[in-house]
Amino acid sequence: MTVTPQYDGVRDGGGHDGLRRLVDVLLPGIDRFADLLTDRITEGEDAYRAHGHVTHDQLRASCADNLHSMVTQLGRDALDLRVPHETGRFKAEHGVPLSAVTHAYRLAGRFLWECVLTEVGDPVIRDMPHVATAVWSVSDTFTDAVAMAYRETMSERAHRDRQVKSLLLAALLDGRLDEGTHLWECADALRLPQRGAFVVVSAETEAGGRPADEDALHDVEGALRALGVRSVWRQEDDAQVGLLSLRSPGSLAPAVELLRGRSIGRVGVSTLFHGLEQAPGAFRQARLACACVEPGAREVASYGDAPVRLMVVSAPDSARHAVRKVLRPVLELPQHERELLLETLSRWFASGGSATETAARMYCHRNTVTYRLRRVQELTGRSPTDPVGASEIHLALEAHRLLTAPPPADPSNP
């Protein structure tokens, strides 16, 4: 602990003679007062008595430093708050609850006032209103300062903990941990079981160019915890990646619903797995599931739910080749005709190959749909009504939707 420099006096003025006299009286007794205050805090605050956060000698040294600093600064307009700041950081690092720290400071304030009442002489009594104001002002300011330093330290610790967990999670998901000891140590540090019911989540974080921040990750983690789902998250360049530990497989559905409500883009969820050594494979599944959602959509997809899309994103080079091989003549048309034919194909497949339903969805005549399908057949050499031709057109269409980035948003038209 840093000891405050020796008392150098207060400014002249009304009431300061009494304060100067009080400081001269109290300073020689600081060691005796520190012993008494230490005993009072130990008796009055369970956190200092029974939990071993700090030793008796550490508490006594802190009492001496704080009493010395409080007494020497009575009556000053600007206080040196280094001692309560260091005390707040020390207590936070040693796990003393903030309520116990502020309670100890309130005890110290009352103790200092009792010392004033028992130690003062006539000059101090004459200036008692001014003395009382000075004592309680110092006490309140020190209590506020220690609380602020405590909260800042805990925030820094939480940030460091998140950074460590993020690095461990990255190593786990990338497969850079050995099975056995390293895996067990990683699970322990992440506060997760090594075996249980797990999924990996990959959630797109950019919507209009706005990446999510640590606070967003913390909020999601807290919301999942309320569902009984423990999770660890890390922020990557384009995604939030989370490892979720479920109470049971039945916990997955409400967790997915929560993610759906909070997503700002595409979200992919792996299949369930039961050992952390399987996390790297699940991570790849989650990324692929996310890629199975059409760009620009806000949707949660589970791995394997859309086999054709999964084939596309698993082999993007082959999928792009299929687009060029099958749909190039359509894609080379003028924009209006191209988009009309592509939408007709999408509606056609979505309606199970019903020209009547497709026409109803597109607000046109059934014969118009039939004409457009013939036009696709002429351009591609494949018939949308033939099983083989339809499968090739459908695969190429899905590849075009998933692997073609949406046009950038017009900043003038939000």
pLDDT of residue 162: 77
370-382 mean pLDDT: 95
Strand partners, 275: 195
Residues of the chain with CATH 1.10.490: 16-157
Domain 181-305 adopts which CATH fold?
Alpha-Beta Plaits (3.30.70)
* pLDDT greater than 70 at residue 408: no
Q: Is 300 helix (H, G, I), strand (E, B) or coil?
A: strand
- Residues 49-98: tens digit of each pLDDT: 776 778 899 999 999 999 999 999 988 889 999 999 999 999 988 888 98
195-202 mean pLDDT: 95
In a 10 Å sphere around its CB, with 0-12 CB exposed, 13-18 middle and 19+ buried, how is residue 217 labelled? buried
Q: 308 Cβ partners below 8 Å, 6+ apart?
A: 394, 395, 398
In a 10 Å sphere around its CB, with 0-12 CB exposed, 13-18 middle and 19+ buried, how is residue 406 labelled? exposed
Residues of the chain with CATH 3.30.70.240: 181-305
One-letter-per-residue 3-state SS of 222-248:
HHHHHCCCEEEEEECCCEEEEEEEECC
pLDDT of residue 123: 55
* CATH number of the domain located at residue range(s) 16-157 in this protein: 1.10.490
- Residues 149-176: tens digit of each pLDDT: 999 988 787 667 778 888 889 999 998 8
**Between 1 and 163, whose confidence is greater?**
163
- Residue 33, token pair as written in the block: 């007062």
Mean pLDDT for the chain? 86
* pLDDT greater than 90 at residue 205: no
pLDDT of residue 125: 62
387-391 mean pLDDT: 94
Whether 114 and 155 have beta carbons less than 8 Å apart is answered as no
Residues of the chain with CATH 1.10.10.2840: 316-403
pLDDT band at 414 (very low <50, low <70, confident <90, very high): very low
How far is Cα 73 from Cα 79, in angstroms, rounded to an integer? 7
pLDDT of residue 16: 64
- Hunting for tokens 């990255």 — which residue is that? 170
* pLDDT greater than 60 at residue 315: yes
pLDDT of residue 215: 58
How far is Cα 96 from Cα 81, in angstroms, rounded to an integer? 20
Q: Tell me the C-alpha to C-alpha distance, in Å, between residue 392 and each of 25, 314, 334.
A: 96, 17, 23
Please name the CATH architecture into which domain 316-403 falls.
Orthogonal Bundle (1.10)
Whether 42 and 135 have beta carbons less than 8 Å apart is answered as no
- Residues 255-272: tens digit of each pLDDT: 999 998 888 889 999 999
- Residue 375, token pair as written in the block: 């036009």
203-225 mean pLDDT: 68
* pLDDT greater than 50 at residue 208: no
How far is Cα 168 from Cα 176, in angstroms, rounded to an integer? 10
297-317 mean pLDDT: 92
How far is Cα 31 from Cα 218, in angstroms, rounded to an integer? 45
